[in-house]
């Protein structure tokens, strides 16, 4: 479960994130929409404890991330826009390392089956990662999330730059994770993807969450209209 209470981050007096309050339950997929600089990545970095909040609290599974930086990451997985891995190591070796850091030593077979489950072609698992496409690297990221049995998934514009097929595959994986009870926070520009995979969407502007709605309650065209209305001025 993800929880932000009055979460605020200011840089030199300018609020990058302004009093965000948000709860994402297990199995929920919350999509954050908004222009560049609206505070989406700041929110994710705050949950990762990569930056310190100016005010407010970010909690994962009920624990304050600044007070329990290690415990909160035990069951958290993070997939940035570009999943960057060790280019000279294979997919299996990369997965092994990140899973081991999370406290899980995998056997070769386990690693391979996680990678395949995440959609990586079996023959690619033993290849060096520098030969991977962006989509393939993301699948390694998903495999890490699966291996550490993440309760919480933080995704930062994961589908930007993916071709429609890869993007669709990615949505399937999101759905798979959410069906397993993972709470997912996804920052994205992709309204279509947000409507398809999200259970809720939130629109951010100048660091504020200005609108929250259930995806079931709104059609794709209306979502776009609403988004553009907010972006005006």
Partner 1 sequence: MLLRIARHDLRCLAADRAAWILVAMLAGSVAYGVYNGSTWVRFQEATLAAVAEDEASRLVQLRRDAEAIAPDAAAPVSWLDPRSPGVVAGSRGQRFAAAPPGPLAAMTVGQADLYPFYFKMTNRTKQTFIAGDEIENPSNLMAGRFDLGFVVVYLFPLLILGLSYNMLSAEREQGTLAMTLAQPVRLRAVLLGKALARAGLVLTLAIGLAVVGSLVAGVDLRAPGVPARLGLWIATVAAYGAFWFALALAVNALGLASATNAVVLVSCWMALVVIAPALISVAVTSLHPVPSRVELIGAIREASSKASQEGSGLLAQYYEDHPELMPASSAPIAADFLVKLQAVQKTVDETIEPVMARYDDQLARQQELVDRLRFLTPAVATQEALNDVSGTSLGRHKHFMAQVDDFHQVWQNFFIPRVMRRERFSLDDYDAIPEFEFREQPLSAVARRAAGGLLGLIAPSAVLTLAGLALLRRYPVAGR
Q: How far is CA 187 from CA 105, 129, 135, in A?
A: 30, 25, 17
The least CB distance from residue 84 to partner 1, in Å, is 3
> Residue 121's CB: how many other CB atoms inside 10 A?
12
Residue matched to tokens 């009920």: 62
Q: Does 69 bind partner 1 (CB under 8 A)?
A: yes
Nearest distance from C-beta of residue 214 to partner 1, angstroms:
29
Interface pick for partner 1 out of 13, 36, 62, 70 (rule CB under 8 A): 70
**Contact between 82 and partner 1 per CB under 8 A:** yes
Q: Quote the strand ranges of the chain, DSSP E.
A: 2-11, 14-24, 29-34, 55-60, 63-64, 76-79, 152-156, 183-187, 200-205, 208-214
Looking at beta carbons only, is 5 or 63 nearer to partner 1?
63
d(CA 91, CA 7): 36
Q: How far is the CB of 53 from partner 1 (least distance, A)?
A: 13
Q: Which of 23, 86, 180, 231 binds partner 1 (CB under 8 A)?
A: 86
Where does residue 138 rank: exposed (0-12), middle (13-18), buried (19+ CB within 10 A)?
A: buried
Nearer to partner 1, 69 or 181 (CB): 69
Q: How far is the CB of 48 from partner 1 (least distance, A)?
A: 6
Q: Is 121 in the site for partner 1 (CB under 8 A)?
A: no
Contact positions with partner 1 (CB under 8 A) in 179-218:
none
Cβ of 35: how many Cβ atoms within 10 Å?
Answer: 15
Applying CB under 8 A, the span of 18-26, 89-97, 107-115, 206-214 interacting with partner 1 comes to 89-97
- Return d(Cα 23, Cα 44) in angstroms, integer: 14
- What is the distance between the alpha carbons of residues 118 and 143, in angstroms, rounded to a whole number? 5
**Contact with partner 1 (CB under 8 A): which of 62, 88, 109, 165?**
88
Residue 196 CB, nearest approach to partner 1 (Å)? 25
The answer to the question of residue 36 lying near partner 1 (CB under 8 A) is: no
| Least gap, CB of 156 to partner 1 (angstroms) | 10
Coil, strand or helix: which one is 147? helix
Rg value, the chain, Cα: 17
By CB under 8 A, name the one of 55, 97, 199, 208 that touches partner 1: 97
For partner 1, the binding residues (CB under 8 A) are 11, 16, 41-42, 45, 48, 50-51, 69-71, 73-74, 76-78, 80, 82-89, 93, 97-98, 100-103, 128, 141, 144, 148, 154
């Amino acid at each position: 479960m993800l929880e932000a209470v009055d979460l605020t981050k200011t840089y030199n007096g300018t609020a990058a994130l302004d009093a965000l309050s948000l709860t994402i339950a297990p199995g929920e997929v919350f999509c954050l929409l908004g222009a560049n600089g609206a505070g989406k990545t700041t929110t994710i970095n705050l949950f990762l404890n990569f930056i310190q909040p100016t005010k407010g609290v970010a909690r994962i599974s009920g624990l304050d991330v600044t007070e329990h930086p290690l415990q909160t990451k035990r069951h958290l997985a993070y997939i940035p826009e570009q999943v960057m891995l060790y280019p000279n190591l294979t997919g299996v070796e990369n997965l092994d390392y990140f899973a081991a850091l999370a406290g899980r030593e995998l056997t070769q077979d386990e690693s391979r089956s996680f990678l395949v489950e995440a959609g990586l072609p079996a023959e690619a698992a033993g290849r060096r990662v520098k030969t991977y496409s962006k989509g393939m690297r993301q699948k390694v990221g998903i495999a890490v999330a699966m291996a550490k049995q993440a309760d919480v998934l933080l995704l930062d514009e994961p589908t930007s730059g993916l071709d429609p097929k890869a993007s669709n595959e990615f949505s399937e994986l999101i759905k798979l994770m959410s069906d397993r009870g993972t709470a997912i926070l996804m920052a994205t520009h992709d309204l279509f993807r947000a409507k398809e995979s999200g259970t809720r969407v939130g629109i951010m502007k100048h660091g504020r969450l200005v609108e929250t709605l259930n995806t079931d309650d709104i059609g794709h065209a209306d979502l776009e209209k609403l988004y553009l209305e907010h972006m005006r001025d």
